Structure 1
Amino acid sequence: MPILKLKPACKDYLWGGSRLREEYNISSDLHPLAEAWVLSCHPDGPSVVENGPDAGLTLPQYIEKHGRGALGRNCARFEDFPILAKFIDAKNDLSIQVHPDNAYALEHEGQYGKTEMWYVLEAEPGAFLYYGFKRPIAKEEYKERIASNTLTEVLNAAPLKKGDVFFIPAGTLHAICKGIVIAEIQQNSNVTYRVCDYGRTGADGKPRQLHVAQALEVTQRVPPRPQDFGGHLAACRYFVADAVQGGAEGMCDDSSFTSLLITGGEGVLSCGGEELAVRKGDSLFLPAGSGDWKLTGSASALLCRVPAAQN
């Protein structure tokens, strides 16, 4: 089965909306529908194979059945599946947060840290997000501004539009704000330190937990740095991401699996003598070594592979 269609694990975080269901064809009974983990081996929400002889298996079960060769030789250096991909619908603001790097996360959380990228799919007029600081600040000022609820005064508020890309290395303070739908590619981690949550309460009626002490340790208190990804949307040791349109074609060789998240339109994905109709919101997984593939029709997609080790 060269083409696997994956069913996402879904999350009903309080800031979510309904656009993933209504516009991205994500089937879920959750209200709100905040996140769809469309490519996931994480124990907090693995994706499930929807088609073919392996239908019903989680993606980790599929890999266990067929072997890690299905991931490709570039994944051999990682102990776990290296990435996690999501669709995120922010009807309301997410918390201001930060993710630790691998060293800190492994020592304190027992899992890896998180570097990630955001690809903006929808943005209401005036939408923005927080992305690092306007200027370098000292740790003491950072602490004082958290306590006095003046942190946003020194954050870089980045206006955005559909198609914008943000690369967020571990340690970058950030927040997705309301009126935005994004596709996120990240390390396979679920470690988040909330710095500010606007005084909101969770489903239990209690204020949601903050992680100020941890955030003070891991945050890089500087403005975002320019990045050069050599023509890709984003690239790091965990993933390389590109935007493709109907008419795109490529090769899924034995170096890495290929993931295609359909971000708009509809069409047909062909690979290994098979054809599969695809539409906005679909997640397709081509095991390493699947061969030539082609995407036709009006479909647009976010394509992701795992790169070779960097010297």
Structure 2
Amino acid sequence: MELYPLKFQPLYKYRIWGGEKLKTELGKNYSENLIGESWEISDVNNDETIVIEGPLKGLTLKQLTKRFKGDFLGETVYTAFGNNFPLLIKFIDAKTPLSIQVHPSNEIAKSRHNSFGKNEMWYVMQAEKEAELIIGFKEDLSPKQYEQYLKDGKILDVMNHEVVSKGDTFYIPTGRVHAIGAGVLLAEIQQTSDITYRIYDYDRVDNTTGEKRELHNDLAKDVIDFSVHDTYKTQYNKTVNQSNTLVHSPYFKTNFLKVEGNITKDYSNLDSFVIYMCVDGNTQIEWKNDIFTLKKGETLLLPASIKNISLSSTSCELLEVYL
């Protein structure tokens, strides 16, 4: 059976801070309240996304990987990761702030949790006025000073706050303390990992449990990078109808691709799957005389065996992701 461009059924995740924008802004279909995350493509254990259309409908991401190997992932990717899909793709809606948190490196995550680390990036799709992200520190701190701020409940005072708007992009390597603020809708690309160390959570109570959420400060303290940077925001070009480098890291590569009219993409020199996240507008993707539609809030995976496609749109903005 031949591989083709694939869409997956998202997994909708309750979060104490979730809102309604995944439904109202991105057209997601669910009935639960406080849905904060839409896992678009996931190979996390017990949270594997499933193909929703075509001959491969019903197969999980893991089943696809095991069945098609290098044709699906790319030979180089399959050699590196085997049957483990390396990325987790999400849309996130924060009605209220996320906890202040940090993620462990590959080495620490492997030794402590038998997991990948969690290097990630954010692309802001929509933000309320004065909505912000918290990324890194704004002043030099020693670990001892950091612990005192934490003990006094004043950790927010030394965090770097960034007021954001549509298109703002941030890369968050492991060790960088961060949080999504209230009123932000974003696309998140990350390694396949669900390991988060929660540092501060506003002393709030989760109504589903009646208790405060667990903090992980003992685990976090030797993970944190205290380096201060001049800027945390990613600068990038937005040239129409070409792939503009957005975030190229050792763990994934993401480009910004704005489509106006008709373009062709040739992936002959790329030994990897490609993921399109539609962050604005809509587009039609043609492959072997088949048409696949992609609209804002949807995600499509091109298996590595697909090398040539055409895209057409009056105006569409995509994140193009690969290894």
TM-score by length of 1: 0.93
Partner of 1:156: 160
CA gap of 1:101–1:228, structure 2 versus 1, over 3 A, is farther
Q: In structure 1, what is the Cα distance between the partners aligned to 2:85 and 2:283?
A: 28
Q: In structure 2, what is the Cα distance between the partners aligned to 1:70 and 1:17?
A: 34
Asked if the contact 2:92–2:185 (Cα under 8 Å) also holds between the matched residues in 1, the reply is: yes
State which of 60, 70, 81 in structure 2 corresponds to 1:78.
Answer: 81
Say which SS state the counterpart of residue 56 (structure 2) adopts. Answer: coil
Asked if the contact 1:37–1:46 (Cα under 8 Å) also holds between the matched residues in 2, the reply is: no
Asked if the contact 1:87–1:182 (Cα under 8 Å) also holds between the matched residues in 2, the reply is: yes
Say which SS state the counterpart of residue 7 (structure 2) adopts. Answer: strand
State which of 189, 194, 197 in structure 2 corresponds to 1:193.
Answer: 197
Asked if the contact 2:286–2:309 (Cα under 8 Å) also holds between the matched residues in 1, the reply is: yes
Q: What amino acid sits opposite 1:233 in the alignment? A: L
Q: In structure 2, what is the Cα distance between the partners aligned to 1:61 and 1:68?
A: 13
Cα deviation for residue 11 of structure 1 reads 0.4
CA gap of 1:44–1:201, structure 2 versus 1, over 3 A, is farther
Instruction: Between 147-156 and 225-234, report the one with greater CA deviation.
Output: 225-234
1:88 aligns with 2:104: no
Q: In structure 1, what is the Cα distance between the partners aligned to 2:110 and 2:117?
A: 7
1:205 aligns with 2:210: yes
Q: What amino acid sits opposite 2:290 in the alignment? A: E
State which of 174, 177, 182 in structure 2 corresponds to 1:173.
Answer: 177
Partner of 1:279: 295
CA gap of 1:45–1:248, structure 2 versus 1, over 3 A, is farther
Partner of 2:278: 262
Say which SS state the counterpart of residue 77 (structure 1) adopts. Answer: helix
Say which SS state the counterpart of residue 233 (structure 1) adopts. Answer: strand
Asked if the contact 1:229–1:235 (Cα under 8 Å) also holds between the matched residues in 2, the reply is: no
Asked if the contact 1:245–1:299 (Cα under 8 Å) also holds between the matched residues in 2, the reply is: yes
Asked if the contact 1:114–1:187 (Cα under 8 Å) also holds between the matched residues in 2, the reply is: yes
Alignment of 1:117-132 (within 5 A): 117-132=121-136
Say which SS state the counterpart of residue 14 (structure 1) adopts. Answer: strand
Asked if the contact 1:172–1:219 (Cα under 8 Å) also holds between the matched residues in 2, the reply is: yes
Q: In structure 2, what is the Cα distance between the partners aligned to 1:244 and 1:294?
A: 13
Q: Give unpaired runs (5+ residues) of structure 2.
A: 238-243
Deviations 1:139-188 (A, max 9, x none): 01111111110111111111111101100010000000001001011111
Say which SS state the counterpart of residue 117 (structure 1) adopts. Answer: strand
RMSD across aligned C-alpha pairs, in angstroms?
A: 1.8
Q: What amino acid sits opposite 1:191 in the alignment? A: I
Q: What amino acid sits opposite 1:303 in the alignment? A: E
Partner of 1:309: none
Number of residue pairs matched? Answer: 306
Asked if the contact 1:2–1:272 (Cα under 8 Å) also holds between the matched residues in 2, the reply is: no
CA gap of 1:212–1:285, structure 2 versus 1, over 3 A, is same
Aligned-pair identity in percent equals 33
Q: In structure 1, what is the Cα distance between the partners aligned to 2:94 and 2:58?
A: 29
Partner of 1:28: 30
Partner of 2:253: 240
Deviations 1:82-118 (A, max 9, x none): 1111000011100000001011111111211111110
Asked if the contact 2:94–2:183 (Cα under 8 Å) also holds between the matched residues in 1, the reply is: yes
Asked if the contact 1:272–1:290 (Cα under 8 Å) also holds between the matched residues in 2, the reply is: no
CA gap of 1:222–1:248, structure 2 versus 1, over 3 A, is farther
1:252 aligns with 2:267: yes
After TM superposition, the runs of 4+ consecutive aligned structure 1 residues lying more than 4 A away are 225-231
Higher strand proportion: 2
